[in-house]
Structure 1
């Protein structure tokens, strides 16, 4: 008996186009606002399948047939969903999500789909979803309530201010006991 190999993609829906438009509301909250209740698992699947077919043609459309793409969890309140996809095709879905730029409903708002975790089991994907939701609540409560210059950088873990580190480099020559090109078979000669 052969085990079916699948991947679970944890995806967040972000709204970066609305940053700075709501005074008094923290940017982190605006970026992670709830998604419309009109977004159903069926509408989401239709949008993803259409984008995969648009990007990868008949190959992509065929890869999405036969129940290989399923929405296992959808939360409009947290703008989070979990997709189950055949392991061979999860990169196609990931690429399609990257290029989707609006919620796949009528008059959908501009948004960004961000794949935040890829897992082999739904349990690990659910644990990551809970951890991220908890971290977001703590971040909003503990001081990210003000307007910031780079909310995307703060959210994604990048910062313009990087600490400098001292690095010591040492040049080791062949006569100090290290391998030389002759010892390695001199791969440069072909």
Structure 2
């Protein structure tokens, strides 16, 4: 008997908004929150795992038609969704995870009743749910540390809190590559190493 293998996609839902643009000068005391924190705000209360499933299915149908819909239908499942952190873990079959990934990447708006502009970022693809959970925890701790550091340095502008490759290299920030989605060349080879799921 052959075991069906899955991939787990760790996903962040980001909410860009013109009023939170880093180029806009801060007008009030409430605007002192760093742009990176404002961009990663909680999801609305109406957003849940079922709505995310509908968004994925509709996106795959729009991009790949009945073929894509049929390929992911049996294995697609939202294993975890947190509206507080706008983070989700999605399970899909190993052969077809790229269909889901592309549908998520090309999403620009959440469906009704939320109906809000968004950017969906796939930050990790793993063979086990445990590795995806560990990455979610690591990223949450890292964003807390960055928010605390930005709050301590009140003289830095909001745009100054957004890390760039040059500032990260100058500061010796080893986590910059992982936060900004730059793939580790060994990452793709590691997918089959932790293949318990």
Considering the TM-score relative to the shorter chain, is it more than 0.5?
yes
Q: Which residue of 2 aligns with 1:16?
A: 16
Q: Residue 158 and residue 14 in structure 1: after superposition, are their counterparts in 2 closer, same or farther (change >3 A)?
A: farther
| 1:126 corresponds to | 133
Contact 1:38 1:105 in 2 (8 A): no
* Range that drifts further, 128-137 or 105-114: 105-114
Q: 1:148 aligns with which of 146, 152, 159?
A: 159
Q: 1:26 aligns with which of 22, 34, 50?
A: 34
Which residue in 2 is equivalent to 1:110?
117
Secondary structure class of the residue paired with 1:73: strand
5 Å-filtered alignment, 1:1-190, equals 1-18=1-18, 19-20=20-21, 23-66=31-74, 68-143=75-150, 146-149=157-160, 151=162, 154=163, 158-159=165-166
Assess if the C-alpha contact under 8 Å between 2:47 and 2:114 holds in 1: no
Deviation at 1:60, TM superposition (A): 0.8
**SS of the residue aligned with 1:46?**
helix
Q: Equivalents in 2 of 1:27, 1:120: separation in Å?
A: 33
CA distance in 2, matches of 1:50, 1:28: 29
Q: 1:76 Cα shift? A: 0.5
Shift of 1:107: 4.2
- Decide whether the 8 Å contact of 2:11 with 2:87 is kept in 1: yes
Change (3 A) 1:75 1:107: closer
Highest Rg: 1 or 2? 1
CA displacement, residues 70-118 of structure 1 (integer Å, 9 cap, x when unaligned): 0000001001000000001100000000100122332421110000000
Structure 1's 150 and 159: CA in aligned 2 closer, same or farther, altered over 3 A?
A: farther
Q: Distance in 2 between matches of 1:10 and 1:161?
A: 24
Q: How many residues align?
A: 158
CA contact (8 A) 2:34 2:161 kept: no
Q: Partners of 1:97 and 1:129 in 2: how far apart?
A: 18
Report deviation, 1:6: 0.3
1:39–1:104: 8 Å Cα contact kept in structure 2? no
Q: Distance in 2 between matches of 1:3 and 1:75?
A: 29
Instruction: From the superposition, tell whether residues 139 and 162 of structure 1 become closer, same or farther in structure 2 (CA, over 3 Å).
Output: closer
